Amino acid sequence: MKNIKSCVTCLLFFYIQIWINCLFCFGYNINKNLGVYPFSLIRKKNVPQEKFKRQLIKVQNEGKENIFTQDGNTNTIKEDKTKQTKTNIDIKNKIEKEKIEINEILKKSENILLERSFSFHKEDITIKPELLKELITQKYRKIFQRHDKDCGSSEIQIIILTFKIFFLTEHMKKNKKDFACLRGLFKCVSKRRRLLVYLGRKDREMFEKITSYFNIKKPLLPRTPEYYNKDLKYIHFNNTKRFKNNAEKKKKDKLKKKKVQTDKILFGN
């Protein structure tokens, strides 16, 4: 029995020494809630000592509060939270900067004044003509619209038709045999003339403003002295009798001059 007791005491002594060496040789921080057999704190055999020591040196240099686990890895909860907050702040700042840039671009585009000469060439245009037509009409709508939501008044219809006519005429210059386009052009011109007559009856000031701004030929308005003057009314028609008589007179005058010249050559003065 004595031999057994001595052996047990020796084994306990060696066990306690091994346990103390394993706990304090690599700088473990012991928690308060430790059990009787803290095997969870013992380092695994697969982890090399060099890596483990490097991790300890880094932590000591940084001076941060870290908790060691089984593999020696550190759980920096505070650092993760700070990083997340920083990333969220950076994202918000980027979004605000982008919004400011977009607002500046929109303000610059509104301040751009379009040319009034309408001398557009397809070589200079980088956008599609349909889209360009819409942009121009939106620009000039703001000048002549009656209210913010005005989209069907006679003034705005006239503006839309003027730009339609302009783009169709440019198309017809290069495609002379496009008869469908030509028919559409005649329809636009007649519709614009009717709208101008209607606007001239209702609001003469607006009529004169639009015709002078876009250099549109003024149609003759009814109940005016110009409307009842036949010379002004039929001035654009070339098949009238007045012009035929003038042409015949010119031909007769030319023949008389030729006869006079031949008589001078043959018979002298």
Half-sphere exposure of 90 (CA within 13 A, CB side): 6
pLDDT tens digits, 16-75: 777 776 655 544 444 444 444 444 444 444 445 555 556 555 555 555 444 444 444 444
* Distance, CA of 174 to CA of 158 (rounded, Å): 25
pLDDT band at residue 238, thresholds of 50, 70 and 90?
Answer: low
Helix (H, G, I), strand (E, B) or coil at 68: strand
**pLDDT of 86:** 74
Other C-beta atoms within 10 Å of 159: how many?
Answer: 23
Give the phi and the psi of residue 68 in degrees, each rounded to 5: -90, 140
Cα angle 266, 267, 269; round to 5: 125
Q: Which residue has the tokens 């704190």?
A: 41
* Distance, CA of 201 to CA of 221 (rounded, Å): 7
Give yes or no for a contact between 195 and 154, defined as CB atoms under 8 angstroms apart.
Answer: yes
pTM: 0.41
* Distance, CA of 168 to CA of 188 (rounded, Å): 10
* Distance, CA of 203 to CA of 200 (rounded, Å): 5
| H-only helix segments in 25-152 | 49-62, 77-111, 129-144
Which residue has better confidence, 138 or 133? 138
* Distance, CA of 47 to CA of 45 (rounded, Å): 6
User: What mean pLDDT is predicted for residues 156-174?
Assistant: 88
- Ramachandran area for residue 63 (φ above 0: left; ψ -120 to 50: alpha; else beta): left
- Average pLDDT of the residues of the chain: 70
Beta bridge partners of 68: 74
CATH architecture assigned to 129-226:
Orthogonal Bundle (1.10)
pLDDT tens digits, 206-235: 999 999 988 888 888 888 877 777 767 666
Break the chain into its structural domains and give their ranges.
129-226, 237-268
- Ramachandran area for residue 41 (φ above 0: left; ψ -120 to 50: alpha; else beta): alpha
